[in-house]
Structure 1
Amino acid sequence: MSVSVLDTVLETRRAILSNDLQSDSRFDASQSIMSGWLRSVMCVPICRADGSVLGVVQLDAKARGRGEFRERDLEVLAGIAGAAAQAVEQALAHDERLLQAKLNRDLELAGDVQKALLPAKPPEIPGYEVFDFYEPARHVGGDYFNYVPLTDGRIAVVMADVSGKGVPAAMVMAVLSGDVKYCLAAEPDLVRAVTRINDSVCRSGWDERFATFVAAVLDPRTHRATLVNAGHLPAYVRDSAGGVTAIGPEQGGLPLGLAAEWEYRASEISIEPGMTLVFFTDGISEAMDVEDRLYGLERIEAQVGKPGGSPEEVGRRILADVERHTAGQIRSDDMCLVCVGRVSGTDDSGGSSLSLRPAGKTPRRSSRKPSGPGRR
């Protein structure tokens, strides 16, 4: 075996024939194993279609004269090397197809598991209508939303966006969903519940990942809601006349996982008939058109305030406008949208208002259920 010949073939990716290796000036005979008896050598690279080298085939002999290799021998060896390269490539491609098929099955399973963590349909709330939409950019994603039933007929509408994409973000989302349900059920005060969720995230060691989060606890009996925004995009509150108010993170606090023992603040909302609350993730606000221009918060707010203020009307209007903006572009981020509104014509318990209070230390669907006598 000649190391020098092998190195030359690997470097040049060209076949070599030499009938006097000892005196051939192209090679260093001192780098040949058992070079004393090597005389005739031919070496051919085994190359893939893209030119990369898979290996080499080398034949050598010590005989002179009739035992020497000829050009036709080199051509035969090159043909054998070509057939070997084709067979190896086919075997590698087959292995890659099997691996990709297994990966796709695993991702589909992960997607099914993640869907099981999300609500199968919007909840039925007396006197309220709910519309939601969720679409991951990949098989799985880091967006999360849910409706968590609480004591005394209250219900929490929650939404989160975990930093990153794909399987790692989805795994964090799965852990977060459990923390959210437990803390909301264990702590009746929303500010304290969000504080406990944040402390749990900070202790979890998510490899510097964090999550924006927004939660609104709705009491359909009093038509009041308490909202905490932890670094999430603004929640829009649309009144019956089309006026829009934004409740952003500056009125709530930092994203989950950035600072332990952070003191959050809550916004108190009195919900009048015809009022709609809109929650969304950045897959909507940062959807890009063909020129990489963002859809933007201003455009969302404009769609929220247009005539037709029911949750389904608002939700479908936003989604249709995002679709027009992207014009068929491949989505790079998960999209999540939830609209919750009080049905017009229900009994009013007072005007609408927003206020702040300090924290304590410690696929497109809709549901509509009118309120009426005897419904609880």
Structure 2
Amino acid sequence: MPIEENTLPFSATLATSPLQDVTDMMREISKYTDPTDIVREYIKRIRQFYPVDRVIALARPDMNSDEVFYACMGNWDKPVLPWGNLENFEPLGDGLLKNLCLNGEPTIVNDLTDELSENDRDILGEMNSLRTIPLFNKGKASQMIVGMKAEPNGFQQEDLSALVWLGNLFGKAVQNLIKAQELSVAYKAVDRELKTVGQIQRDLLPESVPEVPNLELATYYEPSARAGGDYYDFFPLEDGRLGIFIADVSGHGTPAAVVMAIMHTIAHTYSGPQKLPSQFLTYINKHLCQNFTTRSGIFVTAFYAIYNPQDKSLTYASAGHNPPVHRKCGASPVSTLDRAGRIPLGISSEITYDDATVKLTSGDRVVLYTDGIIEAFGSDETQFGMDRLGAIVGRCDLNSTTIVDAVVNQLHEFTGTTSQADDCTLVVMKVR
């Protein structure tokens, strides 16, 4: 809120020129985000305090070379920035200007009537005095701003110190802004690639849940980044049986998504016995270890189950994955499918996996999930946890789809705006 003059304490006074001019300059410069606009405004304003007739920029992109480039800073039709790729700069020939740039020191030349090179005269024209302000980067004068006047003896030595520190502080700020823009461009390019990776990954997931007699299925998948390492799949088997697979690749983002895609390929090339889930996990583990994970240190937790609609049995094997939640309608305790667990996939090719079978009845719910669900953090830094998940699964009035909806809604309510570090996946089964 602006302070009105009549509300100021008796000892206070409103800022006046030149302080007001400096304040106005800083206020105006703060409005810009484009480096060229900021430099243009800075040069225009600084010339009010230190008038010159012409300004040029010199740049040395390679400090191990004597090459110098120049550009006039009076023509703003094209961007002129002595940092970055030096767009619109031209090579500078031998002469006084080049020597001053190579010297890298603040300098005043108040008499340019001495013999100048043809290169200098083409640039200096009718100018008769100049002042150089070196701009330092990593201890070396890699850029220089040259102000010129038509009159001889146009510059004062006492102005140099203020111009050197002011110019270098401003130059560093502009460099940081340029770097920020470059990072923004790079981030957007990477983000576009990650979106593509994420879309490819989603295309690897089932388009819909399969129809199975006396079984309802529903799923939920949400990566923490554009792409993630969670994976679920369904495998129709002989005799109407269904393979149900869920996995979680260690790590996040693109590396996890790549391993997820590899695992998808391996899983869909399996042509061995279809009776035991352990054989399926052993096959995937062997191929991951032999070709991919042992060198990278990545591992995969996984759970694979085969549901038989004829007798409502579920035979399963686990590779270090979170045991699925199992609840019978009307029964208060939550049980977990944890009788066949071994180490994750991708650690040792010598590992074989075990099987266990559970008989399900009408109304039973089985929820497969990745740890991003139960380990999601709320604003108070507590985790969503098994109790909340189990309470939802215990509601007999919910079908598989409404169980997913209830978990997701409560999860979002619990986490609020807290960013999550892990992917979240659910596969919900309810026996009819």
When normalised by structure 1's length, the TM-score is 0.70
Structure 1, unaligned runs of 5 or more: 1-5, 7-14, 20-40, 60-65, 344-376
Q: Distance in 2 between the 1:147 and 1:82 partners?
A: 61
Cα distance, 1:52–1:128 mapped onto 2, change above 3 Å: farther
Q: Distance in 1 between the 2:418 and 2:141 partners?
A: 39
Letter in 2 for 1:126: P
Q: Is the 8 A contact 1:238 1:275 kept in 2?
A: yes
Q: CA deviation at 1:253?
A: 1.3
- 3-state secondary structure, aligned to 1:205: helix
Q: Distance in 2 between the 1:318 and 1:53 partners?
A: 60
The correspondence for 2:327, drawn from 211, 235, 238, is 238
Cα distance, 1:123–1:98 mapped onto 2, change above 3 Å: same
Q: Distance in 1 between the 2:191 and 2:232 partners?
A: 25
Cα distance, 1:67–1:175 mapped onto 2, change above 3 Å: same
Q: CA deviation at 1:123?
A: 1.7
Cα distance, 1:93–1:299 mapped onto 2, change above 3 Å: closer
Percent identical pairs in the alignment equals: 26
- 3-state secondary structure, aligned to 1:232: coil
Q: Distance in 2 between the 1:139 and 1:338 partners?
A: 21
Q: Distance in 1 between the 2:206 and 2:186 partners?
A: 32
Cα distance, 1:287–1:18 mapped onto 2, change above 3 Å: same
Q: CA deviation at 1:186?
A: 2.9
Q: CA deviation at 1:219?
A: 2.1
Please list the CA deviations of residues 222-274 of structure 1 after superposition, one character each: whole Å capped at 9, or x if unmatched. Answer: 322211111100112222324532112x5321111223232322121222211
Structure 2, unaligned runs of 5 or more: 1-62, 64-103, 109-130, 147-152
Kindly indicate whether residue 351 of structure 2 is the aligned counterpart of residue 262 of structure 1: yes
The correspondence for 2:158, drawn from 68, 71, 76, is 71
Q: CA deviation at 1:312?
A: 2.4
Q: Is the 8 A contact 1:308 1:314 kept in 2?
A: no
Q: Distance in 2 between the 1:234 and 1:17 partners?
A: 71
* Corresponding position of 2:286: 199
Q: CA deviation at 1:214?
A: 0.3
Q: Is the 8 A contact 1:54 1:85 kept in 2?
A: no
- 3-state secondary structure, aligned to 1:186: coil
Q: Distance in 2 between the 1:52 and 1:77 partners?
A: 14
The correspondence for 2:264, drawn from 170, 174, 177, is 177
Q: Distance in 2 between the 1:54 and 1:167 partners?
A: 41
Kindly indicate whether residue 365 of structure 2 is the aligned counterpart of residue 279 of structure 1: no
Q: CA deviation at 1:162?
A: 0.6
* Corresponding position of 1:288: 377
Q: Is the 8 A contact 2:243 2:304 kept in 1?
A: yes
Q: CA deviation at 1:67?
A: 11
The correspondence for 2:397, drawn from 308, 315, 322, is 308
Kindly indicate whether residue 273 of structure 2 is the aligned counterpart of residue 187 of structure 1: yes
Q: Is the 8 A contact 2:212 2:240 kept in 1?
A: no
Cα distance, 1:99–1:52 mapped onto 2, change above 3 Å: farther
Cα distance, 1:241–1:52 mapped onto 2, change above 3 Å: farther
Q: Distance in 1 between the 2:269 and 2:341 partners?
A: 21
Cα distance, 1:52–1:291 mapped onto 2, change above 3 Å: farther
* Structure whose alpha-carbon radius of gyration is higher: 2
The correspondence for 1:252, drawn from 301, 326, 341, is 341
Letter in 2 for 1:306: R
Cα distance, 1:95–1:181 mapped onto 2, change above 3 Å: same
Q: Is the 8 A contact 2:221 2:425 kept in 1?
A: yes
* Corresponding position of 1:45: 135
Q: Distance in 1 between the 2:140 and 2:215 partners?
A: 67
The correspondence for 1:154, drawn from 238, 241, 251, is 241
Q: Distance in 1 between the 2:160 and 2:384 partners?
A: 66
Question: Considering only aligned residues, what root-mean-square deviation do their CA atoms show, in Å?
Answer: 3.4
Letter in 2 for 1:187: P
Alignment of 1:342-353 (within 5 A): 342-343=431-432
Kindly indicate whether residue 295 of structure 2 is the aligned counterpart of residue 209 of structure 1: no
Q: CA deviation at 1:101?
A: 2.0
Kindly indicate whether residue 213 of structure 2 is the aligned counterpart of residue 126 of structure 1: yes
- Structure having greater relative contact order (Cα 8 Å, sep ≥ 6): 1
Q: CA deviation at 1:110?
A: 0.6
Q: Distance in 1 between the 2:141 and 2:183 partners?
A: 16
Alignment of 1:10-89 (within 5 A): 44-46=134-136, 55-57=142-144, 70-72=157-159, 88=175
Kindly indicate whether residue 228 of structure 2 is the aligned counterpart of residue 141 of structure 1: yes
Q: CA deviation at 1:216?
A: 1.0
Q: Is the 8 A contact 2:135 2:143 kept in 1?
A: yes
Cα distance, 1:178–1:54 mapped onto 2, change above 3 Å: farther
Q: Distance in 1 between the 2:167 and 2:336 partners?
A: 72
Letter in 2 for 1:308: D
Letter in 2 for 1:117: L
Q: Distance in 2 between the 1:329 and 1:83 partners?
A: 37
- 3-state secondary structure, aligned to 2:269: helix
Of 279-288 and 327-336, more deviation after overlay is shown by: 327-336
When normalised by structure 2's length, the TM-score is 0.61
Aligned residues between the structures: 300
* Corresponding position of 1:34: none
Letter in 2 for 1:106: E
Cα distance, 1:275–1:97 mapped onto 2, change above 3 Å: same
Kindly indicate whether residue 423 of structure 2 is the aligned counterpart of residue 334 of structure 1: yes
- 3-state secondary structure, aligned to 1:290: coil
Letter in 1 for 2:426: L
